Structure 1
Amino acid sequence: MTRADSLIQELIEIVGTRGVLYRKEDLLAYECDAYTIHRGMPRAVVFPATTEEVAGVVKHLHKQRIPFLPRGAGTGLSGGAIPIGGEVIISLVRMKKLLHVDLENRLAIVQPGFVNLKLTHSISDKGYYYAPDPSSQYACTIGGNVAENAGGAHCLKYGVTTNHILGLEVVLPNGEIIELGGVPDMPGYDLIGLLTGSEGTLGIVTKITVRILKNPEDKKTVLAYFDEVEDASYAVSDIIAAGIVPAALEMMDTVAIEGVECGTYPVGHPPGLKALLLIEVDGIAAGIDEQIDEIVAVCRRRNVLEVRVARDEAERGRWWANRKTAFAAMGTISPDYLVQDGVIPRSRLPEVLNEIRQISETSGLRIANVFHAGDGNLHPLILFDARKPGETELAVNVGSAVLRVCADAGGTITGEHGVGIEKKEEMRYVFTGEEIEAQTRVREVFNPDHLLNPDKLFPKPGRCAEMGIIRE
């Protein structure tokens, strides 16, 4: 029996025959996540069903010095779950239970493979919901959301995943099981905050205690059309300056609108628009109408072409379905696309969007902008054709240039998609070498042997000169 055969047999002994994939034809589905530009084959894929099985697998791999990584639903957009060095993938999709709901204390306990939107569906009849709502919430898992600190359209008002995590059960890279949090305002270091967004480089989350919220009394949604991107951008800042904090404030430009109107959920946006805003307010019913009136007034002062308030829940639902399927809809107007994820100060929107437009014109690649305008989280979608020689590489370089613009504007390189392998070299746009080294020293406390999700999140030394980056 070869060493490879021996490993498979040992993993089967831990999780069972149906819990291990090792044939090439079975492994092909796991060579990438939603970042499809880079691919790599895992040594095997293991499907534990309990925390104890996760710990058993990790202990065995740690003892054998075999690298491994956790994976959820594979919807990640930065390559964080791609096995770039033949790692064993520990898939958590079998750990998909809602373990406990405590309405009195407004919390729920889930396993990492529990799908995001399913939590809201499970508690909506009681008048509660789970706030983080990434566009992939119909498929993405809460464990994956914790790994990437995922956001969503409504994070402007309600925050990203880390704002809704109360406790974690974690398997460390040596197989030890620890529990963090569980009690509000625990003293000491915020280890939950450290683990959330660590992209599976510090530990494997096996149980999550999340905050759930009471449904708002009322919500209303506004759709506004503009003939100039600058007018829409200034309207975003004016709405916030007026003292209104919308639950969501989204923006799409011409190319993005073209895509969604060719997608699964068209709503009849007029052709030729330069920009649209989708704005939602929620909360106590008293005062909602006044906020809507002020938003409409702001849009009119910024030369809005047309502004509508959703007539009912059905119309509101169509508008949101149109927005939330925007990424997938780009496939109707381009063979391939690369999603970027930068953050800028809200006040810099007009100039940054103008610079992105110039990058598009110079490169010859169309860029569709669809993003969370309220908190300055941009999602430029770079459209390209991988069948054309050199165009994939060009798209990657364009994405890097866009992130450089965001960093130079006082922003950063990711708001919710994570770094993974896609943006790890661009970490130098926002951190000095000393700052990166300090963070890798934190990783080494948890993951000293670099067996857990190696070569993710941080750049390799010595790439500054190669990339033309100076950051001191």
Structure 2
Amino acid sequence: MRKKIFRTNDPHIQALARIVGEEAILFKKEDLIAYDCDGFTVHRHLPKAVVFPKNTEEVAAVVKYCHEHDLPFLARGAGTGLSGGAIPLNGEVVISLVRMKRLISVDLENRRAVVEPGFVNLKLTNSIANRGYYYAPDPSSQYCCTIGGNVAENAGGAHCLKYGVTTNHILGLEVVLPNGEVIEIGENGILDPLGYDLLGLLTGSEGTLGIVTKITVRILKNPEAKQTVLAYFDRVADASQAVSDIISAGMVPAALEMMDQTAIEAVEAAAFPVGHPNDIEALLLIEVDGISAGIDEQIEEILHICRKRNVREVKVAQNEQERAKWWANRKTGFGAMGAISPDYLVQDGVIPRSKLPEVLQQIEQISKKYGLRIANIFHAGDGNLHPLVLFNSEKPGETEKALAAGSECLQACAAVGGSITGEHGVGVEKKEEMRFIFTDDEITAQTNIRDVFNPKNLLNAGKLFPTPGRCVEVKKA
């Protein structure tokens, strides 16, 4: 094979190539198109270049060069983010971390592992499963999303009701600051280190404070037992009330998921159909885990609650194969929308569980207002909603209608005391909606923190915070 000829007159491209190697940089338009967006495809912008460093030293050298020459830059993982956090709005140098994909160490005695940011989420569990351990955060994209990206967005997943989101499982970080300096945060995995909670600050900062190059995570022992329930309801209101009743009964399931009729239509048309009835309004997927003693009693209580709330049918998975099939069906939820719509926009609001019926009714009204179907798939146990607005971008005006509908869904969440994101982040998609829940003074306080880490605002600029001076009014319920 003939060696690729490296030709460019751009001195910055030449300098970056000297850092990472000519084979580890892209700068031609036809190569850059694949990096013009992430999972939020409404906006697209070409980067100046994409570099693929292989270690922390190369990341730091690239960042230092960009800092010294006032070149905007950002980090990118697998590109599965759903809020536009990796879109190069300003022609950034994209620092792709996919080559940094090692599982560095596993410490079973202290229940921790060290990974590079490009290590795929599910691969960690698969790497330690034979020793009886797993990594708890499980976003639907876990088969391809990276742990570095999970840290940036503070990703959650179906089992975050009981086990928490990414920030609850991070014990230490190695971070390249926006000037190229490398720091370590966390004291060798100590659960409550002295001083400010910098781990909490960095986790979920959406790549605006630094670039994570090494991550120490908590790993858990596999539960002794688990059982999974699937319940079909003729009315969304009954399913919603069953969710509240389960939590009110003192149980904390590992997962408590809901899908509405439109979402069920999509997952049944996709890769892992289960045979869900097509005339129900909602289903619940409920999983309980822990020590064997007491699991059966919890399942019986859940079955009783579902029956009390007019469940049409409720069943317990008979084996691991059936359980896995149910979960595969649920995990395809977002991608399955492609089976019933050419385009879709995923939203990510949070509400108090008691407000589920009210907010779902509002979302239905928003759907009618804009003439667009909205499917609902969500982590019902912790009130994390995912309205999926279905549209056709080839029809004039439908993209704008979808964005407006999505924004109104988030406004409905904020109005009942909720939030505009539970796990997908703000990125570029929801930055104006930050005003739904924060005052100007509160936003200024947050940008002041960003400016301490990122004073030149070269790292992932234009994300997370709203445009100064643009006001949004929200009427509280």
TM-score, L = length of structure 2: 0.97
- Output one character per residue of 1:356-409: Cα deviation in whole Å (capped at 9) or x when no partner: 011111111000000000000000000000010000000000000000000001
1:161-176 matches, within 5 Å, as 161-176=166-181
Residues 234, 281 of structure 2: 8 Å contact kept = yes
- Measured in 1, the distance between the counterparts of 2:226 and 2:10 equals 57
Q: CA deviation at 1:183?
A: 3.4
> Out of 112, 120, 123, which is 2:117 matched to?
112
Aligned match of 1:56: 61
> Out of 341, 348, 359, which is 1:341 matched to?
348
Aligned match of 2:141: 136
Letter in 1 for 2:269: C
SS of 1:328 mapped into structure 2: helix
- Output one character per residue of 1:300-357: Cα deviation in whole Å (capped at 9) or x when no partner: 0000000000000000000000000010001000010000000000110010101101
1:271 is the counterpart of 2:278: yes
Aligned match of 2:4: none
> Out of 75, 78, 83, which is 1:70 matched to?
75
SS of 1:206 mapped into structure 2: strand
Aligned match of 1:245: 252
1:183 is the counterpart of 2:206: no
TM-score, L = length of structure 1: 0.98
Aligned match of 2:296: 289
Letter in 2 for 1:460: T
- Measured in 2, the distance between the counterparts of 1:52 and 1:287 equals 51
- Measured in 1, the distance between the counterparts of 2:262 and 2:122 equals 28
> Out of 428, 434, 444, which is 1:437 matched to?
444
1:437-456 matches, within 5 Å, as 437-456=444-463
Aligned match of 2:223: 216
Residues 436, 473 of structure 2: 8 Å contact kept = no
Aligned match of 1:369: 376
Aligned match of 1:46: 51
Q: What is the alpha-carbon root mean square deviation over aligned residues?
A: 1.1
Segments of structure 1 that go 5 or more residues without pairing to the other structure are: none
SS of 2:311 mapped into structure 1: coil
SS of 1:305 mapped into structure 2: strand
SS of 2:375 mapped into structure 1: strand
Letter in 2 for 1:9: Q
Q: CA deviation at 1:3?
A: 9.7
Segments of structure 2 that go 5 or more residues without pairing to the other structure are: 1-6
Aligned match of 1:421: 428
Q: CA deviation at 1:460?
A: 1.2
Distance 1:234 1:4, change over 3 A: farther
Letter in 2 for 1:294: E
- Measured in 2, the distance between the counterparts of 1:39 and 1:429 equals 25
- Output one character per residue of 1:425-445: Cα deviation in whole Å (capped at 9) or x when no partner: 000000000000000000000
SS of 1:41 mapped into structure 2: coil
> Out of 328, 338, 341, which is 2:335 matched to?
328
Count of aligned residue pairs for this structure pair: 468
Q: CA deviation at 1:470?
A: 7.9
- Output one character per residue of 1:64-97: Cα deviation in whole Å (capped at 9) or x when no partner: 0000000000000000000011011000000000
Between stretches 182-191 and 25-34, larger displacement belongs to 182-191
- Measured in 2, the distance between the counterparts of 1:112 and 1:167 equals 12
SS of 2:10 mapped into structure 1: helix
Letter in 1 for 2:288: V
Distance 1:418 1:296, change over 3 A: same
